[in-house]
């Protein structure tokens, strides 16, 4: 079974430029998560979707970050404009079920963003 | 104070050693507990869930002490392949399936 797919794996941009990351969850997983991981830190949740609905976006900096999951399958996370401090790894994860706290989350390989 | 705290390490141990990782969490409403493993430049992967009764999976033993809000992971007979970062993770009721990660503890097993 294919795991969580993310692209691109690496992205280098200049500050103030826009950037977008794409995630395709494991087939059949209706819950999708975007996390941010800074160097030397654990991942931090940005947004969680159940199907196409964003049910927890409290940690998403909405002035510059946006996300969508229009058909309840794949998802895009966008930053516009990017800042130097956005350099990090952006991880996507998915889980089956309805987001119960016992669900196992499976992570994709992440997109490593460098903002110059 | 961070919600989940771990010693960042690194822990440098010889092959065959027993190593223990400790973790504390601040939210007494936390309901489920996990250890994830993250290899260098890779994604986190679930190593094991942690139950109040303690649980064991081969060389790995996890313990939870709810009264002290303390979680541990013991690795016996360390292998070179155990070298990774071990992330302590808790999930809090009321924020369904919101995983709170510790900063991770880096383990380096030496030949």
- Tell me: the pLDDT tens digits for A59-91? 999 999 999 998 889 999 999 999 999 999 999
**Closest chain B residue by Cα to residue A41:** B103
- Greatest CA separation for chain A: 40
Task: Find all residues with CB under 8 Å of A62, minimum gap 6, and list them.
Answer: none
pLDDT at A1 (0 to 100): 67
pLDDT in tens, B38-93: 999 999 999 999 988 889 999 999 999 999 999 999 999 999 999 999 999 998 76
Of B43, B97, B104, the CB nearest to A110: B43
Report whether B33 contacts B49 (CB < 8 A): yes
pLDDT band at B27 (very low <50, low <70, confident <90, very high): confident
Task: Find all residues with CB under 8 Å of A37, minimum gap 6, and list them.
Answer: A43, A44, A88, A89, A90, A91, A110
Query: Do A107 and B91 make contact, defined as CB atoms within 8 angstroms?
Result: no
- Does A110 reach chain B within 8 Å, measured CB to CB? yes
Does the structure show a pLDDT above 80 at B97?
Answer: no
Task: Find all residues with CB under 8 Å of A34, minimum gap 6, and list them.
Answer: A23, A45, A46, A47, A48, A67, A75, A77, A90, A91, A92
């Amino acid at each position: 079974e294919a795991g969580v797919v993310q692209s691109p794996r690496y992205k280098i941009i200049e500050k103030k430029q826009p950037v977008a990351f794409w995630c395709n969850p494991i087939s059949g997983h209706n819950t999708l998560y975007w996390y941010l991981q800074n160097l030397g830190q654990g991942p931090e949740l940005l947004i969680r979707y159940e199907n196409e609905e964003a049910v927890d976006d409290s940690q998403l900096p909405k002035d510059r970050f946006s996300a969508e999951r229009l058909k309840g399958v794949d998802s895009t996370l966008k930053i516009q404009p990017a800042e130097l401090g956005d350099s990090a790894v952006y991880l996507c994860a998915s889980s089956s079920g309805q987001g119960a706290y016992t669900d196992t989350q499976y992570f994709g390989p992440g997109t490593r963003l460098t903002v110059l | 104070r961070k919600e989940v705290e771990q010693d960042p390490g690194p822990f440098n141990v010889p092959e065959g050693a027993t190593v223990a990782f400790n973790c504390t969490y601040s939210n007494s409403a936390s309901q489920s507990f996990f250890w994830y493993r993250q290899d260098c430049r890779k994604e986190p992967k679930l190593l094991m869930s942690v139950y109040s009764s303690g649980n064991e999976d081969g060389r790995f033993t996890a313990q939870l002490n709810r009264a002290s809000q303390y979680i541990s992971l013991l690795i016996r007979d360390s292998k070179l392949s155990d070298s990774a970062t071990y992330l302590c993770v808790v999930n809090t009721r009321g924020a369904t399936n919101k995983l709170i990660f510790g900063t991770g503890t880096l383990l380096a097993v030496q030949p």
